[in-house]
Amino acid sequence: MKHTIFSIGKYLVVFFFLGLTNQLQAQETIVTYIKKDGGFTPLQDSAAYTSILHLEPNEAGLYQLREYYPNGNLKRRGWVKAADPKRLRFEGLVEDFYDNEILKSTYQYSNDRLLDTAKKYYRNGGLKETIVHLKPTTPPTDLSPRDLSSRLVYYADSLGHVQVSNGNGIATIIRDETKKEQGEYINGLREGHWTGFLHNGKSQFEEWYNNGILEKGVTTDSLGQQHKYTQKDVEPEYPGGIMQLRMFIGNNYRYPAEAIKANVSGQLLISFVVEKTGKTSEHKIINDLGYGTGQRAIEVLKRAKDWTPGYHRGLPVRVAYSVPIQLNLN
């Protein structure tokens, strides 16, 4: 229930019949309009892209998903295990595209988990990286999935200069204009001393790896203060854990009178941001049941305790979160 969990209200679901080329039968679909922040909107003009989920399964029982940019170009296509736009569980090949229709990435999924070979491409069409995702052989731990079960076997810069080949080499990885990291790969795993910067160079970090596992790291911020860490990313945490938050909501949520009269039941979904201080902000109703139920949930969440903030490379960060709230008068 963190980061990228989204849902949609009934008013955002549009059913229509899409004519198929050279076929007499029509196919029912669900169309949703999705904003830049991942939220949903009933207005196509305010959407960052449009998602179309076909409701007729193929022979394997999978449902086709296609997403489009506002200019009509394909953004993503693939197959999902359930005809539920609230939870896309991918299966098989998924392809992402830039808005100029150049292939951006390809992934293979098995039961909504990355498996086999994934590739990423630059906007000019050049191959950026190839990662092999292995089938996990150990129970999950606090380490990231990449640390445990993937290997970088190829990496090249935007000019096509190969830096990692067959899992070996020294790479300078630029994730975006604000982040850069450099170090050695051996057999597809990070090894030894790595360096880099965050926030357009305002913060510098050093990390030490052993066979792909981060042993220690330290970030020096813009004020010269050092922040040590042993995990790249630490999720925000509610005091006592998420079960305590659920108990707080259960003990404090009161049905609006109109919702009682209408015998409302179902699931709300409320999103918010856990700030660097641990306080919450930007509360939004993602999935509403009407009759004031969503607003009442926001009022309850605003009275909850402050969180322990999330951290990235030792520095506190803002983290988007979402909480489902099940309502049932029975």
Domain boundary among 81, 114, 147: 114
Domain boundary among 91, 114, 137: 114
CA distance 3 to 319: 7
Is 263 part of any domain? yes
CA distance 56 to 58: 7
Would you state the pLDDT for residue 137?
Answer: 58
Is 303 part of any domain? yes
Q: Which two tokens stand for residue 227?
A: 């922040």
pLDDT over 50 (residue 202): yes
CA distance 112 to 251: 34
pLDDT tens-digit profile of 124-179?
999 999 999 987 655 544 444 445 579 999 999 999 999 999 999 999 998 777 78
Q: Which two tokens stand for residue 30?
A: 């669900």
Query: What's the domain count of the chain?
Result: 2
Q: Which two tokens stand for residue 287?
A: 């999935």
Helix (H) or strand (E) holding 180: strand 179-186
* Per-residue confidence band for 27, with pLDDT thresholds at 50, 70 and 90: low
The mean pLDDT value for 298-324 works out to 95
Q: Which two tokens stand for residue 77?
A: 């296509």
The mean pLDDT value for 196-204 works out to 91
**The pairing of beta strand 74-80 with beta strand 92-97:** antiparallel
DSSP code string of 75-101: EEEEEESSS-TTS--B-EEEEEE-TTS
Burial 270-288 (b: 16+ CB within 10 A, else e): bbbbbbeebebeebebbbb
Q: What percent of the chain has pLDDT over 90?
A: 72
Between 97 and 28, the higher pLDDT residue: 97
DSSP state of 166: T
Q: What is the mean pLDDT of the chain?
A: 87
Would you state the pLDDT for residue 41?
Answer: 80
Helix (H) or strand (E) holding 111: none
pLDDT over 80 (residue 279): yes
The mean pLDDT value for 5-27 works out to 37
CB 88, CB 65: distance < 8 Å: yes
Which residue in the block uniquely carries the two structure tokens 């096509």? 160
* Per-residue confidence band for 86, with pLDDT thresholds at 50, 70 and 90: confident
**Range in 21-35, 49-63, 215-229, 269-283 the model is least confident about:** 21-35
Q: Which two tokens stand for residue 29?
A: 């679909």
CB 193, CB 181: distance < 8 Å: no
pLDDT over 60 (residue 256): yes
Closest among 25, 15, 65, 69 to 44, alpha carbons compared: 69
Would you state the pLDDT for residue 309?
Answer: 96
Would you state the pLDDT for residue 147?
Answer: 54
Helix (H) or strand (E) holding 290: none
**Range in 14-28, 52-66, 147-161, 252-266 the model is least confident about:** 14-28
Would you state the pLDDT for residue 74?
Answer: 97
pLDDT over 60 (residue 91): yes
DSSP state of 221: -
The mean pLDDT value for 17-27 works out to 40
**Range in 22-26, 89-93, 239-243, 310-314 the model is least confident about:** 22-26
Is 229 part of any domain? no
What pTM does this model have? 0.78
Is 225 part of any domain? no
Q: Which two tokens stand for residue 138?
A: 């150990």
CA distance 137 to 149: 8
CATH number, domain with residue 313: 3.30.1150
Would you state the pLDDT for residue 142?
Answer: 44
Is 69 part of any domain? yes
Which residues face 38 on adjacent strands? none
Q: Which domain holds residue 251?
A: 242-327
pLDDT over 50 (residue 20): no
Q: What percent of the chain has pLDDT over 70?
A: 88
Is 180 part of any domain? no
Is 215 part of any domain? no
Q: Is 133 left (phi over 0), alpha (psi -120 to 50) or beta?
A: beta
CB 23, CB 53: distance < 8 Å: no
In terms of Cβ atoms closer than 10 Å to its own Cβ (0-12, 13-18, 19+), residue 163 is middle
Would you state the pLDDT for residue 19?
Answer: 36
Is 52 part of any domain? yes
